[in-house]
């Protein structure tokens, strides 16, 4: 694998390998042991969308592995003046060892990867958020020591998170129930691909409009904001549509007693989740956020140094 621009590029072995390597890297950091296999390595970090966790985790991750990250946004690069993404790819490939991009259309990442001679990582598009799902799977594994057969209930908008989760859950052999309002389902191609993968892995992929059905006996309850970046004008309208999918104390009673609550953050308390749940004892959102650092370090090592575990 040269690039990681879609969760579809993964497979069961890839996910297992990332989890093992992430665990190794996290343990080294906890012990305060320096591990710098990317000394002299440079990464270009292109951010055309705002970011907190993604930007900081990649910048810190590159540094901790001994490398250097060069942050670029549209205001401080020629991309903001209309330079074609393929030209940027060909130029950066001669300067850096890796390109990380957070942008809008999935096609933009695909074109960057096509013309780049170095690995490209998708740090979020309107269609996918694969790095987040790797961190999510690692977090669940830390708590459950297993993924196969676990039930994940995803509630809310069938957005980029839901698309990537469909594929990740399918490869991991999980039961993935996505509960969305009518008209807000995940993209059909991701649903079909997930079901195709499920035939090989024993996963279960279910789409429903019933949040209780999704949450019943769930091991993990997952949600995301109701209005993603670029949808701010729809926020008020979406609140009315999505309120039945709010993760609150009443809804989580249907899950297993030891369920994990997850959210990719930032969270809008009182909308997709209540303060009581996100601050409750079943919430693992802070571990989940931390694990972005460890899984992205693992991903960079795998792509650049072909490290396996």
Q: What is the mean pLDDT of the chain?
A: 96
What is the pLDDT, as a whole number, of residue 229? 63
pLDDT tens sequence across 163-181: 999 999 999 999 999 999 9
Residues pairing with 266 in the sheet: none
> Known binder of ligand: residue 9?
no
> Known binder of ligand: residue 34?
no
* Cα separation, 129 vs 139, whole angstroms: 16
pLDDT band at 230 (very low <50, low <70, confident <90, very high): low
Query: Beta strand pairing status for 220-223 and 260-263?
Result: parallel
> Known binder of ligand: residue 129?
yes
- Of 102, 108, 238, 263, which residue is the catalytic one? 102
Among the listed residues 215, 144, 203, the one whose alpha carbon sits nearest the alpha carbon of residue 168: 203
pLDDT tens sequence across 10-46: 999 999 999 999 999 999 999 999 999 999 999 999 9
> Known binder of ligand: residue 300?
no
Q: Is the pLDDT of residue 246 over 70?
A: yes
Can 238 be counted among the known catalytic residues? no
pLDDT band at 235 (very low <50, low <70, confident <90, very high): confident
Can 81 be counted among the known catalytic residues? no
Mean pLDDT of 65-91: 90
- Of 64, 224, 263, 294, which residue is the catalytic one? 224
Can 129 be counted among the known catalytic residues? yes
pLDDT band at 144 (very low <50, low <70, confident <90, very high): very high
Task: Extract the runs of DSSP E, i.e. beta strands, from the chain.
Answer: 42-47, 68-73, 98-102, 120-122, 151-155, 175-179, 204-208, 220-223, 260-263
> Known binder of ligand: residue 11?
no
CB-based contacts of 294, cutoff 8 Å, min separation 6 = 22, 23, 25, 26, 29, 135, 138
Mean pLDDT of 227-243: 83
* Cα separation, 206 vs 21, whole angstroms: 30
pTM: 0.96
What is the pLDDT, as a whole number, of residue 306? 86
Query: Beta strand pairing status for 151-155 and 175-179?
Result: parallel
Can 264 be counted among the known catalytic residues? yes
Q: Measuring CA to CA, how many Å separate 57 from each of 31, 117, 123?
A: 19, 24, 11
Q: Is the pLDDT of residue 231 over 80?
A: no
- Of 264, 288, 294, 296, which residue is the catalytic one? 264
Q: Is the pLDDT of residue 76 over 90?
A: no
What is the pLDDT, as a whole number, of residue 137? 99
* Cα separation, 4 vs 130, whole angstroms: 8
The CA R_g of the chain, rounded to the nearest whole Å, is 19
């Amino acid at each position: 694998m040269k690039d990681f621009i879609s969760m579809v590029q993964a497979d069961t072995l890839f996910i297992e390998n990332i989890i093992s390597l992430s665990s190794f890297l996290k343990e080294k950091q906890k012990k305060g042991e320096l591990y710098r296999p990317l000394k002299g390595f440079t990464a270009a970090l292109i951010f055309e969308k705002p970011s907190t966790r993604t930007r900081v985790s990649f910048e810190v991750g590159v540094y901790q592995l001994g490398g250097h990250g060069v942050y670029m946004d549209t205001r401080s690069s020629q991309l903001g003046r209309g330079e074609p993404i393929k030209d940027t790819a060909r130029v950066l490939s001669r300067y850096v060892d890796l390109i990380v991009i957070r942008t809008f259309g999935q096609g933009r990442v695909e074109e960057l990867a096509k013309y780049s001679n170095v690995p490209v990582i998708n740090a979020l598009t309107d269609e996918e958020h694969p790095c987040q799902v790797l961190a999510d799977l690692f977090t669940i594994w830390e708590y459950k020591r297993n993924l196969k057969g676990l039930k994940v209930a995803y509630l809310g908008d069938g957005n980029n998170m839901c698309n990537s989760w469909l594929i990740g859950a399918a490869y991991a052999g999980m039961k993935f129930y996505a509960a969305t309002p009518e008209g807000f389902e995940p993209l059909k191609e991701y649903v079909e691909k997930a079901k195709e993968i499920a035939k090989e892995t024993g996963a279960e992929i279910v789409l429903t409009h019933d949040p209780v059905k999704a949450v019943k006996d769930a091991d993990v309850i997952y949600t995301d904001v109701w209005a993603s970046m670029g949808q701010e004008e729809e926020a008020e309208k979406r609140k009315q549509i999505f309120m039945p999918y709010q993760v609150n104390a009443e809804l989580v009673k249907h899950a297993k007693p030891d369920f994990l609550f997850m959210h990719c953050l930032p969270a809008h308390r009182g909308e997709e989740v209540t303060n009581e749940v996100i601050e409750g004892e079943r919430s693992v959102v802070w571990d989940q956020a931390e694990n972005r650092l460890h899984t992205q370090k693992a991903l960079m090592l795998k792509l650049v140094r072909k490290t396996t575990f």
